[in-house]
Amino acid sequence: MRFSETLHDGWLFTKEAVDGVPAYAPGPEWEAVEVPHTWNAFDGQDGGSDYYRGACWYVRQLTLKPHAPETRVYLEFQGAANVAEVYVNGCKVTEHVGGYSTFRADITTALMPGENVLAVKVSNEERSDVYPQMADFTFYGGLYRPVEVLYVNPTHFDLDYHAGPGVTVSSTIKDGAAVLDARAWVTDAAEGDVVNFQIFDDDGNEVASAAQPADVDGGKVRTEIVIPDAHLWQGVEDPYLYEVVATIIRHNEVLDEVSFLHGVREFRFDPQEGFFLNGKLTPLRGVSRHQDRLGKGNALSLEDHVEDAYLIKELGANTIRLAHYQQSRDFYDLCDQLGFVIWAEIPFISKMNDDPAAHQDCLSQMTELVIQNFNHASILMWGISNEILIGGDSPQLVQNLKELNDLAHSLDQTRVTTMAQVSNTPKDSEHNQITDILSYNHYFGWYGGHLEDNEAWLDDFHAMHPDRSFGLSEYGCEGIISYHTDDPQCGDYSEEYQALYHEHMARIIDERPWLWGTHVWNMFDFGCDARKEGGVEGRNNKGLVTIDRKIKKDSFFIYQAYWSAEPMVHICSKRYARRAADTIDVKVYSNQPEVALSVDGKPFATLAASAQDDPHIFVFKDVPLAEGYTHVTARAGIAEDSATWQKVAEPYEPYKFVDPEGGNIVMNWFDDVSADDGLAVDAPYDESCYSVHDTVSVILDNPEASATVTNAASSIANMRIKASMLGVLGNKSLVEMFDQLRSMSGKAEDLDQKLAYLNKQLQQIKK
């Protein structure tokens, strides 16, 4: 019978170079750590685009638990970023490429009696054959998910096929009954061995079962199980789960057992009506989630995952896009249990690498994602890429995407495929016909354009493609809770503008139920060491909640007002505590039919939702501020919230973000470029001055060169690009960077001419 142990403590860690495979020998070059662990917990979030990317070693002693003599012993790594080599007693037992999925190794023959030594080399170095290649988040390195030792009978459910569970169950619904397709793969089955499936309801009662011989068809077992009058998994409304217990039985002994939860559901996507779960129209409205935290990086505990899941539940969301990689099995389990509909994807993001080995890594990561997570009821769609056209288009890219799409379908015929398109992908692009459904990432009202461009684009695409189900895979804007204003404007990073942005988006999304799914970017602020947005280094601040999970921004509550069934009321701009005014407007969010506001204990006004432009937003005009402090309370049914503001003589200057880049980005920088200039990008150049052959990081170190390049980039991409946004491209030359922006230009054919003109300007700036 299988059992396991988690290798949490006892690890030694070093970044120092090691000759050969290290022994377990504590010394000054070794640090005692616990796993999960990342070496980028701090430098991956402090800005500068200089976090450590290299190879590191973990080593520990390995003493096995008592076990039967014939037992097979496996190591299981649930996440090692991004490439790992595993050694037991100096012998290499496995290696793995890809930082987000589980892998295993049978170490039985490498073990010795008594003490053993486990050594793991892990690297997050940049490699041409490993995705992600380029992305707007930190690529944390380390053994950042649990490591376990598995003890199994020689006859066991398969552990070697892409680290899958060895047992799968899917179901269909027929006349109220659930018809389960149960499959198992048995290693080393003997004649007469039996695989037994039992299905239990959530009270622990057995409601169905089936058995099949394990030794036929090479250990491949398949049977059908019927649950009469099945209780359906209805998402967050009713996430009912059955327990599946699969056992291998030899005579009167259970040799191995695997158990998991199963939700019975069916779904469909209608381009004109929207998403249906078990026949019920269920617009999917939710968030995206990265897996890191302040001071922890991606080395999260189960408690961290639980807190994240329940914060999203509190928001009222019913779907999560788990971006941009396979996430922890603990989190997928939580999503099953809480009823979130999940978009799971691989890190094929921003740019395709032409190295054929990179495509094989894509195929491998897709295979592992599907095989390892097949049994999760919450997962309904497999994502094959994100904003992949940032790096340009090519016939090979199209072919690779089609191959990924076909692979996902060949591995799983019960779910759909999808992809997230970069905003400027043409509406008639062939990329929009590759997957079953699709979504777009749009930031109108933040990086470029106006808020109203969002609904205009959505309606236009919907009219152009009436037969395609599509949604919003990303939308959002930065919100930093130390910045406040009475006049919020795009680009000011204020909490007020972020709230205004999401008020608009929540409303237009609510008006369009045919959008199959929408996902706020992002639920939580997350680490991106290359960024410096709004004076905050190493962070993407688009979260509805801060990276430490301590503060819910005002924008969190507008979605709660739209999506949550729990009575709520929230007063906005509480952190805008010092007010240089005699009166202010007080904005309140609520999902109740009316809100009453009192000021310093006295009733001020009551507003009805039906009388508001948006029934979730209540604005109390001209609320008087007393000398000193004014206390206000908002009540809506059983919900209540309060705030305190201080009246001051002068505005508090730190509330305003002062942009060191000046905000003077020129969008038409190339208007005066002429083909008659006779410039050539490959002409001889003065290396003592800046040029397009320098890397982005070198350019960004000089304010004048940085301003020149951001003007050029903004003009080519037709959107406001700040220097801080280019940090993720730090090791790319300007030539490479602008080639990646080529697909975002409406006049890509004159890019070389523009590069030559840019080079001329940079050559006038001394290093």
CATH number of the domain where residue 95 is located: 2.60.120.260
**What value does the mean pLDDT take over residues 411-436?**
96
What 8-state DSSP symbol labels residue 340? -
Name the residue with higher pLDDT: 134 or 212.
212
Q: Which strands make up the sheet holding 274-277, listed edge to edge?
A: 267-270, 274-277, 280-281
- The three state secondary structure string of 559-572 is HHHHHCCCCCEEEC
Name the residue with higher pLDDT: 449 or 476.
476
588 and 455 within one domain: no
pLDDT at 664: 59
pLDDT 10s digits, 151-204:
999 999 999 999 999 999 999 999 999 999 999 999 999 999 999 999 999 999
181 and 273 within one domain: no
Domain edge (last residue) among 215, 236, 262: 262
pLDDT band at 747 (very low <50, low <70, confident <90, very high): very low
What 8-state DSSP symbol labels residue 64? P
359 and 390 within one domain: yes
The span from the CA of 436 to the CA of 654, in Å, is 49
Determine if the peptide bond prior to 89 is cis (ω within 30°): no
The span from the CA of 444 to the CA of 438, in Å, is 19
Distances (CA, A) of 696 to 229, 353, 730, 748: 62, 19, 5, 21
DSSP state string for 304-365: HHHHHHHHHHHHT--EEEE-SS---HHHHHHHHHHT-EEEEE---BS-----HHHHHHHHHH
At residue 694's C-alpha, the angle toward residues 693 and 695, to 5°, is 120
Name the percent of the chain lying above pLDDT 70: 96
Asked whether the predicted pLDDT for residue 678 surpasses 80, the reply is no
Asked whether the predicted pLDDT for residue 748 surpasses 60, the reply is no
The bridge status of strand 147-152 relative to strand 3-6 is: antiparallel
Contact 189, 215 (CB under 8 A): yes
Range of the structural domain that residue 131 is part of: 3-152
Six-digit token pair at 129? 């054959």
Residue 548 forms part of a structural domain: yes
What 8-state DSSP symbol labels residue 580? -
182 and 301 within one domain: no
535 and 410 within one domain: yes
Q: Give catalytic residues, as residue numbers.
A: 387
**What value does the mean pLDDT take over residues 296-302?**
98
Residue 419 forms part of a structural domain: yes
Six-digit token pair at 325? 């990689």
The span from the CA of 535 to the CA of 482, in Å, is 11
The span from the CA of 680 to the CA of 326, in Å, is 44
Six-digit token pair at 757? 């003109």
CATH of the domain at 237: 2.60.40.10
pLDDT at 148: 98
Contact 345, 386 (CB under 8 A): yes
pLDDT at 683: 77
- 304 CB contacts (<8 Å, ≥6 apart)? 293, 296
pLDDT 10s digits, 60-92:
999 999 999 999 999 999 999 999 999 999 999
Residue 669 forms part of a structural domain: no
Residue 159 forms part of a structural domain: no
Of the candidates 385, 429, 384, 391, the one whose C-alpha atom is nearest the C-alpha of residue 411 is: 384
**What value does the mean pLDDT take over residues 653-659?**
93
The span from the CA of 599 to the CA of 642, in Å, is 10
Name the residue with higher pLDDT: 180 or 759.
180
The span from the CA of 155 to the CA of 84, in Å, is 28
What stretches of 158-227 adopt beta strand conformation (E)? Answer: 167-174, 177-187, 194-200, 206-213, 220-227
Radius of gyration (C-alpha) of the chain in whole angstroms: 28
pLDDT band at 745 (very low <50, low <70, confident <90, very high): very low
pLDDT at 734: 86
Least confident range from 446-455, 465-474, 570-579: namely 446-455
309 and 257 within one domain: no
pLDDT 10s digits, 704-730:
898 898 888 888 777 777 777 777 666
Of the candidates 174, 181, 183, the one whose C-alpha atom is nearest the C-alpha of residue 230 is: 174
234 and 271 within one domain: no
Residue 668 forms part of a structural domain: no
- Indicate if the alpha-carbon torsion angle 609, 610, 614, 619 is positive or negative: negative
**What value does the mean pLDDT take over residues 7-29?**
96
User: What's the pTM?
Assistant: 0.93
Contact 11, 37 (CB under 8 A): yes
The span from the CA of 209 to the CA of 201, in Å, is 12
The span from the CA of 303 to the CA of 264, in Å, is 27
**What value does the mean pLDDT take over residues 751-764?**
86
pLDDT at 665: 65
The span from the CA of 228 to the CA of 180, in Å, is 11
**What value does the mean pLDDT take over residues 423-441?**
96
Residue 101 forms part of a structural domain: yes
425 and 284 within one domain: yes
Provide the mean pLDDT of the chain. Answer: 94
**What value does the mean pLDDT take over residues 43-69?**
96
At residue 81's C-alpha, the angle toward residues 112 and 75, to 5°, is 25
Of the candidates 137, 30, 11, the one whose C-alpha atom is nearest the C-alpha of residue 81 is: 137
pLDDT band at 746 (very low <50, low <70, confident <90, very high): very low
pLDDT 10s digits, 503-552:
999 999 999 999 999 999 999 999 999 898 899 999 999 999 999 999 99
Six-digit token pair at 636? 């809506």
199 and 296 within one domain: no
352 and 275 within one domain: yes
User: Taking the C-alpha atoms of 269, 275, 281 and 284 in order, what is their torsion angle to the nearest 10 degrees?
Assistant: 170
pLDDT band at 142 (very low <50, low <70, confident <90, very high): very high
Asked whether the predicted pLDDT for residue 560 surpasses 70, the reply is yes
The span from the CA of 85 to the CA of 75, in Å, is 12
Residue 423 forms part of a structural domain: yes
What 8-state DSSP symbol labels residue 759? H
DSSP β-bridge partners for residue 260:
244
pLDDT 10s digits, 358-387:
999 999 999 999 999 999 999 999 999 999
- 113 CB contacts (<8 Å, ≥6 apart)? none
349 and 472 within one domain: yes
pLDDT at 752: 79
The span from the CA of 348 to the CA of 401, in Å, is 10
Contact 730, 655 (CB under 8 A): no
Asked whether the predicted pLDDT for residue 493 surpasses 80, the reply is yes
Q: How many domains does the chain have?
A: 5
The span from the CA of 679 to the CA of 677, in Å, is 6
**What value does the mean pLDDT take over residues 390-401?**
93
Domain edge (last residue) among 121, 152, 183: 152
Six-digit token pair at 87? 């050694």
pLDDT at 362: 98
pLDDT 10s digits, 609-642:
999 999 999 999 999 999 999 999 999 999 999 9
- Which single residue is written with the structure tokens 């080995």? 357
**What value does the mean pLDDT take over residues 688-700?**
89
Domain edge (last residue) among 152, 184, 206: 152
Residue 607 forms part of a structural domain: yes
pLDDT at 193: 98
350 and 236 within one domain: no
